Amino acid sequence: MEENLLKSMDLKNTKKRQVILSILKEYNYAMTAEEIYEKTKPLLSMSVSTIYRALHTLSDKNIVIKSIRQDGKSYYQLQKYTHKHHLVCTVCQEVITIEHCPLEELEQKLAVQTGYQITGHSLEFFGICPNCTKK
């Protein structure tokens, strides 16, 4: 479980980090520090700064990936579940996950053209979901 993951990165195996990781695993979508905080509340007490610090450490170790969305907030998710992109409804904020990343080939092409060593990308689509279109 989470214990080995932490140990393997020379991180101390604390209850709080375990809880954060298990929440990210359970819900399996990118969430904000605030959302994680809300979900930890019933389980144990933890300050928001601890969550930020843990997420920062975990993303340094590439266990967690941070990405900043168009709402200006940082979203965190487990590395192994990443590389999916999202389509976000700008009215109700519903999020649809796009399974296949369409950019891998393009990335290769770009690398050749520019001489850059490409390390990643961020991609997000916006729109209005069928439900909100009706209203």
Partner DNA sequence: GTATCTGCAAAAGATTTGCAGCAAG
Partner DNA sequence: CTTGCTGCAAATCTTTTGCAGATAC
Q: Which residues bind its own copies (CB under 8 A)?
A: 67-72, 74, 87, 89-90, 96, 98, 102-103, 106-107, 110-111, 114-130, 133
Is residue 119 part of the contact set for DNA (CB under 7 A)? no
What's the CA gap between 16 and 116, in Å, rounded?
A: 39
With CB under 7 A as the contact rule, the residue among 5, 23, 31, 46 that binds DNA is: 46
Residues 7-28 as b/e (b if ≥16 CB within 10 A, e otherwise) read eeeebeeeebbebbbebbeeee
CA separation for the pair 50, 47 (Å, rounded)? 5
Q: Is 34 in the site for DNA (CB under 7 A)?
A: yes
Binding site for DNA (CB under 7 A): 6-7, 11-17, 32-34, 45-50, 52-54, 56-57, 68, 72-74
